[in-house]
């Protein structure tokens, strides 16, 4: 039930942003499989075993390498705030549409990150929360591009 609510929340967020839940086609040169009408949902995420650059609208760029089964992430900040920071995290993933995946993790510093990865148009909606100096939590929503590098 909890996964269904997470998937529903992600789908509603995508819908509210004007994005479509029906993917058309991913470019073959970016390393992702094409998403065709009538394509089946899969249990293995398309990012499994691959490395992507996530270029966020705030100037940060992350090099995210996903485990072969898609359940863990090795991330390095390669541009912007925190360059050189590296961490490993366990992922919670669910497919929320054809070519659309919701992925969530908690970083060692307590930052929570949620991604809605759209493999049809190679974009990511990023939401993260973090603690302020006063102990309250803030959240930020960003857009990013998704570029496969390995």
Query: Does position 23 have pLDDT exceeding 60, yes or no?
Result: no
Across the range 8-35, mean pLDDT stands at 42
Residue 38 confidence (pLDDT): 53
Task: State residue 136's pLDDT score.
Answer: 96
CATH number of 2-21+49-148: 2.40.128.20
The structural domains of the chain, with segments of one domain joined by +, span 2-21+49-148
Paired tokens of 127 = 């939401």
Location of structure tokens 């470019």: 27
CA dihedral 44, 47, 50, 52 (to 10 degrees): -170
Q: What would the mean pLDDT of 61-70 be, rounded to a whole number?
A: 98
> Tell me, what's the pLDDT at 25?
33
What is the sign of the dihedral through the CA atoms of 6, 8, 13 and 17? positive
| Cβ-proximal residues to 2 (8 Å cutoff; 6+ apart), any chain | none
pLDDT band with cut points at 50, 70 and 90 for residue 22 = very low
Each residue of 40-59: pLDDT tens digit?
A: 666 899 999 999 999 999 99
pLDDT tens digits for range 107-124: 999 999 999 999 999 999
């Amino acid at each position: 039930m909890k996964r269904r609510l997470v998937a529903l929340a992600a789908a509603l967020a995508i819908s509210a942003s004007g994005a479509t839940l029906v993917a058309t086609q991913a470019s073959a040169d970016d390393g992702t499989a094409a998403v065709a009408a009538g394509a089946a949902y899969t249990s293995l995420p398309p990012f499994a075993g691959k490395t992507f650059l996530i270029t966020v609208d705030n100037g940060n760029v992350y090099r995210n390498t996903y485990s072969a089964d898609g359940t863990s992430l090795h991330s390095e900040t390669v541009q912007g705030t925190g360059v050189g920071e590296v961490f490993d995290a366990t992922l919670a993933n669910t497919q929320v549409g054809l070519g659309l995946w919701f992925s969530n993790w908690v970083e060692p510093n307590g930052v929570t990150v949620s991604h809605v990865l759209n493999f049809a148009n190679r974009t990511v909606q990023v939401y993260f929360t973090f603690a302020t100096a006063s102990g309250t939590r803030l959240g930020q929503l960003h857009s990013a591009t998704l570029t496969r590098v390995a």
